[in-house]
């Protein structure tokens, strides 16, 4: 676990985390979040809580990973154990990171209760942030968990056919779209969640041996940059 956590300090994951931080800073004040919401809800036929599959998918995926890990240990299947353990760890770490950010930022969800017949998109709440007051909308945990799983599958199935390696992204993309279609998340919530999940999944899915010559390593009093220069 320590080696995999260390990989989060490599350049690629750090760039993804940086992009995740920038997404709401750019898309919220520019109005892009609200405009995309209106497009999905008005032009693409979206509606609040349109379907339940995308809502429950990450929970089902996490439960399946845990069960698969237990079964693989019971049957002493090393290959399946490696995939299931890394997927479980990546999804768990993603949730921890996302939950901390949700609390720290406290972004408002798209709308509270709206009476039947009223337009949910009439009020733009994308710029409303109340730090440390709630587990807010940003970033999307659904996107983070499913993209973390997809990235682990991609890394673990290196050398396999592309359709096998990237099949997880079809699920992750479907869940992210379902969150937007059901009016649960702003677009920047989903983009940030996807980048966080991708960064964590990339770190946990690959070999525990670092592939980068430079990394940030946690130290007693902060972070240290290590590697060959």
pLDDT tens-digit map of 66-92: 999 999 888 888 878 889 999 999 999
The whole-angstrom separation of Cα 198 and Cα 126 is 24
Tens of pLDDT, residues 115-146: 777 888 998 999 999 999 999 999 999 999 99
Residue 116 inside a domain? The answer is no
Residue-level pLDDT at 5: 86
Contacts of 196 (CB under 8 A, 6+ apart): 16, 17, 20, 94, 97, 98, 139, 144, 147, 148
The whole-angstrom separation of Cα 19 and Cα 191 is 9
Strand 222-227 and strand 214-219: pairing?
antiparallel
Question: How buried is residue 38: exposed, middle or buried, by Cβ count under 10 Å (0-12/13-18/19+)?
Answer: middle
Residue-level pLDDT at 2: 77
Residue-level pLDDT at 210: 46
Which residues constitute the domain of residue 12? Answer: 2-109+131-227
* 193's tokens: 């969640």
pTM for the model: 0.88
Q: Which residues of the chain have pLDDT under 50?
A: 209-214, 227-229
Residue 150 inside a domain? The answer is yes
Residue-level pLDDT at 167: 93
H helices within the chain, ranges in order? 2-6, 11-27, 32-38, 53-74, 78-105, 141-156, 162-165, 167-181, 187-205
Residue 104 inside a domain? The answer is yes
Residue-level pLDDT at 78: 80
DSSP characters over 73-89 = HHTT-HHHHHHHHHHHH
Residue 122 inside a domain? The answer is no
The whole-angstrom separation of Cα 7 and Cα 202 is 9
Residue 84 inside a domain? The answer is yes
Residue-level pLDDT at 79: 78
How many domains, in total, are found in the chain? Answer: 1
Residue 182 inside a domain? The answer is yes
Q: Are 82 and 124 in contact (CB under 8 A)?
A: no
Integer CA distances (angstroms), 177 to 27, 96, 218, in order: 17, 23, 36
Residue 126 inside a domain? The answer is no
The whole-angstrom separation of Cα 161 and Cα 169 is 14
Integer CA distances (angstroms), 81 to 66, 161, 185, 205, in order: 10, 21, 33, 12
Residue-level pLDDT at 171: 96
């Amino acid at each position: 676990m320590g080696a995999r956590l260390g990989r989060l300090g490599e350049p690629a994951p750090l760039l993804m985390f940086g992009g995740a931080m920038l997404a709401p800073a750019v898309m919220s004040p520019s109005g892009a979040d609200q405009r995309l919401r209106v497009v999905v809800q008005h032009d693409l036929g979206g509606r609040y809580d349109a379907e339940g599959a995308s809502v429950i998918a990450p929970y089902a995926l996490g439960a399946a990973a845990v069960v698969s890990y237990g079964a693989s240990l019971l049957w002493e299947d090393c290959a399946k154990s490696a995939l299931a353990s890394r997927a479980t760890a990546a999804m768990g770490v993603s949730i921890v990171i996302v939950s901390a950010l949700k609390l720290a930022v406290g972004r408002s969800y798209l709308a509270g209760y709206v009476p039947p017949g009223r337009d949910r998109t009439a009020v733009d709440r994308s710029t409303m942030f109340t730090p440390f007051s709630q587990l807010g909308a940003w970033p999307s945990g659904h996107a983070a968990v499913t993209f973390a799983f997809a990235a682990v599958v991609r890394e673990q199935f290196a050398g396999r056919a592309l359709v096998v390696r990237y099949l997880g992204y079809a699920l992750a993309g479907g869940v992210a779209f379902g969150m937007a279609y059901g009016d649960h998340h702003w677009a920047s919530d989903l983009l940030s969640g996807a980048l966080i999940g991708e960064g964590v999944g990339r770190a946990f899915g690959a070999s525990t041996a670092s592939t980068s010559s430079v990394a940030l390593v946690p130290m007693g009093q902060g972070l240290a940059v290590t590697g060959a220069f």
